[in-house]
Chains A and B, each alone.
Chain A
């Protein structure tokens, strides 16, 4: 530890960086990526999130989907609530506040030389996208990388236009949908079906998963059944949040604050609580 390092000043959970909406890229029905310019670099680690604050409307916790070194900060959002619907109505140039980044990121440094299986369900791929791009840049540091993507319908699969670049980075991508449309060349079913068909060495593999909670429970259980250690399975949880700094108490999950202790948790930390209904 550097004893000369000056502790950073305490951060206010209520005050963010002013940011301007640069552009909006539709990703899927009801889902778009919003890119913001903060007027300078925005440092974060893949897996962290921002409180996206629209004064007069509210704030919502949204994972950062852009690459850590991108010129703009990207958030891929499904319009489901007050904040996200209002976001969908913003025009480029509109001002918002980005409060963040907050939370524990994906443990990418700890995954060096290991095989990595990334499992995404629906908009959960947004949180993993940042990790995928980051890993792609340091591809040599990792072993085999497989990305399993599940969605309701083919049109719901995010970032399909980026798949070729990810494949060129030697990431093996497999997709599956619940409700295949006509002409869908891939399999139909759940993302756990993809995991069941995947060949991996549990001793040298880590699994990162983001998606709806029931899906993550199933993926974690399947991973454990295939011999993965609980400490090698990482899930990104979602809860209601007002502050994202461990003050407001809204995001509690068992003894944890999802905002501060997570959103990325190793499975061993939360497994006993994940199994309890209505916790």
Chain B
């Protein structure tokens, strides 16, 4: 582990946006009392969603929202990396390519032609990819959107000079900690909680919904065992593929498993019926 020296007394903070819905930036603005604490402790020098105050870098901490989806994005993220001492990607788009990475299974050109009257004016890449596929990233905060508590933990850690604590466990730990009844066990709803990185506090299962995996794969996820159990208990493969391809479809473990299930489904459907 590298040592993180404590930040200067009032570190300079910048927030950048790429292909995204702005929801993670809104989480920061929605931090309410904690936002005031943050503004007290940091100088917010670039955060266009929040303020017209816009001072040039270099910055001590850069928070980057969104995925890389255009040629201009590629150039800009390299420039930003050079401006930020500690670069943090925030959210499913920045850390995994986001929901827009569904395009990676299709043709971006076909989409552009279907959506835009003059697609030739649209400069886009064929894929949506995470920031870390382009520049080195010092830390990542997952989720769609990110969790305010984790963001404050990150900023606190920067202030006191330690590694931010992001638990290396799955969502189930948070469900059990808040006393949520497991939706998979008690209702038979296929849930990605056991293979998804914690951090949300077990939000969706607490609202009687399955985990959609928006924090991406947890450490050492055993996807084959979990999807196999769901399949044996009646969930069709195509539903499992859709579950894996939602908020972080391009994250390695989820992508590999959805591709495996899709191939298995195709092979099964190709078999001649008796």
A residues neighboring B (CB under 8 Å): 56-58, 79-82, 85-86, 89
B residues near A80, Cβ cutoff 8 Å? 1
A79 touches B162 (CB 8 A): no
Provide the main secondary structure of the chain B interface.
loop
A86 touches B1 (CB 8 A): no
B122-149: CB near A (< 8 Å → 1, else 0) gives 0000000000000000000000000000
A residues near B6, Cβ cutoff 8 Å? 89
A residues near B161, Cβ cutoff 8 Å? 85-86, 89
Q: How far is the CB of A233 from chain B (nearest CB, A)?
A: 33
Question: How large, as a class, is the contact surface on chain B?
Answer: under 10
A residues near B4, Cβ cutoff 8 Å? 85
Q: List 15 A-B contacts (CB under 8 A).
A: A57-B162, A58-B162, A79-B3, A81-B1, A82-B162, A82-B163, A85-B3, A85-B161, A85-B162, A86-B160, A86-B161, A86-B162, A89-B5, A89-B6, A89-B161
A57 touches B160 (CB 8 A): yes
B residues near A86, Cβ cutoff 8 Å? 160-162
Name the residue on B nearest A58 (C-beta). B162
Name the residue on A nearest B162 (C-beta). A82
Q: How far is the CB of A141 from chain B (nearest CB, A)?
A: 43
A residues near B160, Cβ cutoff 8 Å? 56-57, 86
Q: How far is the CB of B155 from chain A (nearest CB, A)?
A: 14
Query: In whole angstroms, how far apart are the Cα atoms of A81 and B160 in the complex?
Result: 14
Name the residue on B nearest A80 (C-beta). B1
A residues near B3, Cβ cutoff 8 Å? 79, 85
Name the residue on A nearest B5 (C-beta). A89
Among residues 156 to 171 in chain B, which have CB atoms less than 8 Å away from a CB atom of chain A? 160-163
Name the residue on B nearest A84 (C-beta). B3
Q: How far is the CB of A77 from chain B (nearest CB, A)?
A: 13
Query: In whole angstroms, how far apart are the Cα atoms of A81 and B2 in the complex?
Result: 8
The 5 closest A-B pairs by CB, nearest first: A82-B162, A85-B3, A82-B163, A57-B162, A56-B160
Query: In whole angstroms, how far apart are the Cα atoms of A81 and B1 in the complex?
Result: 7
Among residues 10 to 65 in chain B, which have CB atoms less than 8 Å away from a CB atom of chain A? none
Inter-chain pairs besides A85-B3, A85-B161, 9 sampled, C-beta below 8 Å = A56-B160, A57-B162, A80-B1, A81-B1, A82-B162, A82-B163, A85-B4, A86-B161, A89-B161
Residue from A56, A57, A85 having most chain B Cβ neighbours under 10 A: A85
Q: How far is the CB of B219 from chain A (nearest CB, A)?
A: 16
Query: In whole angstroms, how far apart are the Cα atoms of A57 and B164 in the complex?
Result: 10
Query: In whole angstroms, how far apart are the Cα atoms of A146 and B6 in the complex?
Result: 43
Name the residue on B nearest A88 (C-beta). B3
Query: In whole angstroms, how far apart are the Cα atoms of A85 and B160 in the complex?
Result: 11
Q: How far is the CB of A260 from chain B (nearest CB, A)?
A: 26
Name the residue on A nearest B165 (C-beta). A82
Query: In whole angstroms, how far apart are the Cα atoms of A80 and B162 in the complex?
Result: 11
Q: How far is the CB of B173 from chain A (nearest CB, A)?
A: 15
B residues near A85, Cβ cutoff 8 Å? 3-4, 161-162
Q: How far is the CB of A171 from chain B (nearest CB, A)?
A: 35
Query: In whole angstroms, how far apart are the Cα atoms of A81 and B6 in the complex?
Result: 14
Name the residue on B nearest A82 (C-beta). B162
B residues near A56, Cβ cutoff 8 Å? 160
Query: In whole angstroms, how far apart are the Cα atoms of A82 and B1 in the complex?
Result: 9
B residues near A79, Cβ cutoff 8 Å? 3
Among residues 219 to 263 in chain B, which have CB atoms less than 8 Å away from a CB atom of chain A? none
A residues near B1, Cβ cutoff 8 Å? 80-81
